[in-house]
Chain A
């Protein structure tokens, strides 16, 4: 056994501590609307999946799934543009010794532009999210998955349609 797998005094391993620190830095960057920094914290080719993100049209369904550097960056940038005061507060953070991190966060913002089918009426939302990360031994995020409830989100913003 190497020191990298020995529990620290707090009952966590250095890998867990590093993973948690990376995720906290990620949310700090998100709060600062620093999308470039958010991307820098992710490995090249990092996976991205926003599970509730589905855009339905007659021909096909677009899912919020792909890579951080393409789909993720575009979604974050568009969200910050539509909700210029977008902020977050991490409410719980848990890690395992293999780099998996579960983070509950409250995300809030005031709508300033249309976002998808949600027309802007200036509404404000606060919503609980669950993010699941995987962080490499080098402290880079190589996978992000997020869950939230679009019903609560849309109702707070005055949108009652299901696309």
Chain B
């Protein structure tokens, strides 16, 4: 399977909330950096925790891959848009059933035996807070109506 196909499969599992399937695509020591959350660690812990929370909080999640290319070191670089409706607290933000649409960029490092060994994700958490109705960064649990 090419790195491109692997990345498409990865985002398909993200959309479906299939975290165990995602972990099955990883090397045992795969790492993750969720840059805006300042979470850097094992994919099996930090990555899985974020993805499970996303799946629970946004159960109708859609993931659209807008751009995808594979660099010489076999890293799949993707621009995606996640879209859905908040149905539960998410990253400490109270649920107001707000519509979420957020552009993100992900980099997946793929090994020669078609496993993902590293994941790095960038997005703007300020945009996410704005869409969820948060008004102040020091009071993310307090949302506007």
User: Which A residues form the contact surface with B (CB < 8 A)?
Assistant: 11-13, 16, 51-52, 54, 56, 94-98, 100, 102, 104, 128-130, 132, 145, 147-152, 154-155, 159-163
Query: Does B104 make an interface contact (CB < 8 A)?
Result: yes
Q: Report chain A residues within 8 Å CB of B135.
A: 161-162
Which residue from A54, A95, A152 sits with its C-beta under 8 Å from B71?
A: A95
Are B125's CB and A147's CB within 8 A?
Answer: no
For chain B residues 67-85, which have a beta carbon within 8 Å of chain A? 67, 69-73, 75, 77, 79
Assess A151 versus B129: contact at CB under 8 Å? Given A132-B77, A162-B134, A162-B137. yes
Closest to A151 in B: B125
CB distance from B96 to the nearest CB of A (A): 14
Query: Does B50 make an interface contact (CB < 8 A)?
Result: no
List of 6 A-B pairs having minimum Cβ-Cβ separation, nearest first: A52-B124, A94-B71, A150-B126, A149-B36, A147-B122, A100-B69
A13 to B107, CA, bound (A): 21
Are A152's CB and B72's CB within 8 A?
Answer: no
CB distance from A9 to the nearest CB of B (A): 13
**Which of B38, B103, B104, B122 has the largest count of A CB atoms less than 10 A from its CB?**
B122
Q: Report chain A residues within 8 Å CB of B71.
A: 94-96, 100, 102
Are B127's CB and A54's CB within 8 A?
Answer: yes
CB distance from B52 to the nearest CB of A (A): 22
Interchain residue pairs with CB less than 8 A apart (12): A97-B72, A130-B35, A132-B67, A145-B79, A147-B104, A147-B124, A149-B35, A149-B122, A151-B124, A151-B129, A160-B136, A162-B134
Count, chain B residues at interface, CB 8 A: 30
CB distance from A15 to the nearest CB of B (A): 10
Are A151's CB and B105's CB within 8 A?
Answer: no
Query: Does B98 make an interface contact (CB < 8 A)?
Result: no
CB distance from B33 to the nearest CB of A (A): 9
Which residue from A97, A147, A161 sits with its C-beta under 8 Å from B136?
A: A161
For chain B residues 1-60, which have a beta carbon within 8 Å of chain A? 35-36, 38
Query: Does B90 make an interface contact (CB < 8 A)?
Result: no
Q: Report chain A residues within 8 Å CB of B136.
A: 160-162
Query: Does B138 make an interface contact (CB < 8 A)?
Result: yes
Are A132's CB and B130's CB within 8 A?
Answer: no
A102 to B35, CA, bound (A): 16
Assess A102 versus B137: contact at CB under 8 Å? Given A147-B104, A149-B125. no
